[in-house]
Structure 1
């Protein structure tokens, strides 16, 4: 998460992962290369008010700078999509930050369409 610009300690990440552990509506997949975490994707599912089917979201995707350019991001997205299909989810969104142009190109290459705009506000 730190490589995404969200400074996070190991203890904080462990606590977050513990919160998600065992939840059927979330999954995290980690790609390990030579005993090192090369990247991860986190996905979630939720009911929808505008569709009868549940909706999916890629909520985090990161590839360590050491492993970028090797196709790991695409493999992680594909793994997340497999989880969506296995859970009856046929529609997926992802909301990468505006400045993550490499991610924008990756998602476009994988068939994701630019379909909207997001607004964010911190409540803290």
Structure 2
């Protein structure tokens, strides 16, 4: 069960009061009416909405993560409620063609707030057209507003084109990511 929950429209993150006071001003409120909207030619970057779930599920499928619309709706609903997360979508001529998801968090190894790009996908039709760069720029702008001092991301080994993309934007390789699936028998009682 997550330590994060909402009470009276605010997010309780489960961090110490000292960090809470430092983190809270950087978090967004659930109502995002004045959210980020960037326009360039026919490209618009905006905050994701729950109604985007089916199109986001299709995009995740293009990355190899088969996702049903109902699953994405549940995930997105959770993410949109948690002020530590941001999700931006890209549209060209009102057609959704990309998304980026980020997380702002405290960490054990740094005093400053950290940011993580947890998802980035651009539709196959719009790749290499500047959509990915625009989504990264929107995420970085949001991180700066949140006083984030460093950003990390992970990408799969076989995505060499993505590696070059991130390096061209100033990101550097700093290590490896390891993953392990846990079964219910691994949980502590």
Bin for the TM-score computed over the shorter chain: over 0.9
CA–CA distance in 1 between the matches of 2:73 and 2:131?
A: 23
2:116 to 57, 79, 83: 57
Structure 1 match to 2:151: 92
Work out whether 1:23 is the aligned partner of 2:79.
Answer: no
Q: Secondary structure at the match of 1:108?
A: helix
Q: Normalized against structure 2, the TM-score is what? A: 0.64
CA–CA distance in 1 between the matches of 2:181 and 2:63?
A: 18
Check the 8 A contact 2:80/2:87 in 1, yes or no: no
Larger Rg: 2
1:102 to 161, 168, 172: 161
Structure 1 match to 2:132: 73
CA–CA distance in 1 between the matches of 2:182 and 2:82?
A: 26
Offset of residue 30 of structure 1:
0.1
Offset of residue 46 of structure 1:
1.0
Offset of residue 63 of structure 1:
0.3
Work out whether 1:3 is the aligned partner of 2:82.
Answer: no
RCO comparison, higher one (Cα < 8 Å, 6+): 1
Runs of 4 or more, structure 1, over 3 Å off, are none
RMSD, matched Cα: 0.9
Q: Normalized against structure 1, the TM-score is what? A: 0.96
* Structure 1 gap ranges (5+): none
